[in-house]
Amino acid sequence: MSDERTPADISPLLAGLLAGDRRAIARTCTLLETMKPGALELIAALAPRLGRALVTGFTGPPGAGKSTLVNAYIRHLRTKNRRVAVIAVDPSSPVSGGAILGDRVRMTAAVEDDGVFVRALASRGALGGLSPAAVRIIDALDGAGFDDVLLETVGTGQSEIDVAQVADVRVVIAAPGLGDDIQAMKSGHLEIADVVVVNKGDLPGAEITRTQLSATLGMRAGGLSSVPILKTTATTGDGIDALAAAVARAAEPRLAAGPATRRRRRARYLIARAAAELVAERIRSESTVDLDRLADEVLLGKALPAEAAARFLDHG
């Protein structure tokens, strides 16, 4: 794979990517995922062309119907002639979530459709946060000219926080009969939503779930929530048009802010994640003398933990 070794060899890959060649897209995703030599050159070459794609995140509890809904949404977008890429993030297994979505897409619309591209991505660690590679893969897919990049993640705490940072529009999906998961959503996961979907609208209980979520949203931030709560049936496509309209409305201000702003938000998130890791690494590392000294100050009431932390960062 000599073209992943030297800057000079980036151009064929770049040309293939810009032409929408599927193999080139897949190889670019891998290159930016692994950050092997050539990746930085590729990012530099792509940078002026990026920021066109709209990134929409879909999160929600396991089994809420995210993949089915994403699939129905893909079909909708294809009727509008939009080219769609999907990043499917699986918290538990590196393959199955994405593979399942891939199968669904293949089964329905997309096997010979150059306008649809699916990429599975392992999530990061036990907490299921988004891998920073997802952000770079967004850039690869953006560079390949996809109009929409859809991000499917299971709504664990960390991945929801991550999706909130990375996506332009956040869709949070609930469904009736998920019990504790709905409770969990009520206790905070709705915070990130631009659009809330109650999927499985064909099942009894959908309306109750919707009422519950509506009450919860109404209570947040002074009760003036303008977040729409839509009912969908992903298996039949019911409600998908309304979902698309709600996403488009939520996207308007984000798109108006311009590509640089949206991409900078993602880069800031990457830096914040890297910074958190650096700090954690420093705290784990051998040189704990300073930390012990600061710990004693905290224990003796001579410093607040936040003050100790600030000094630790200053002197690390």
Ligand X SMILES: Nc1nc2c(ncn2[C@@H]2O[C@H](COP(=O)(O)OP(=O)(O)OP(=O)(O)O)[C@@H](O)[C@H]2O)c(=O)[nH]1
Considering only residues 181-210, where is the footprint of ligand X by CB under 6 A? 199-200, 202-203
Interaction partner, residue 216 (Mg ion, ligand X, none; CB < 5-8 Å by kind) = none
- Residue 235 binds ligand X (CB under 6 A): yes
CB 38 within 8 A of CB 31: yes
Give the tokens for residue 179. 């019990």
Considering only residues 56-75, where is the footprint of Mg ion by CB under 5 A? 66-67
Nearer of residues 28 and 153 to ligand X, judged by Cβ: 153
**C-beta of 68: minimal distance to Mg ion in Å?**
8
Residue 314 exposed, middle or buried by CB count within 10 Å (0-12, 13-18, 19+): exposed
Nearer of residues 94 and 305 to Mg ion, judged by Cβ: 94
Interaction partner, residue 62 (ligand X, Mg ion, none; CB < 5-8 Å by kind) = ligand X
Tell me whether strands 148-154 and 54-60 are parallel, antiparallel or unpaired: parallel
> Interhelix angle for 133-143 vs 10-18, to 10°?
70
Considering only residues 39-78, where is the footprint of ligand X by CB under 6 A? 60, 62-68
Tell me whether strands 148-154 and 195-198 are parallel, antiparallel or unpaired: unpaired
How far is the C-alpha of 139 from the C-alpha of 273, rounded, in Å?
18
For Mg ion, which residue has the nearest CB?
67
Q: Compute how many other C-beta atoms are within 10 angstroms of the C-beta atom of residue 36.
A: 12
Looking at 97, 98, 129, 143, which residue binds ligand X (CB under 6 A)?
A: 97
Site string for ligand X, 255-294 (x = CB under 6 A): ----------------------------------------
Pick from 96, 101, 201: which is nearest to 150 by CA? 101
Q: Which residues bind ligand X (CB under 6 A)?
A: 60, 62-68, 97, 154, 199-200, 202-203, 233-235
Q: Which residues bind Mg ion (CB under 5 A)?
A: 66-67
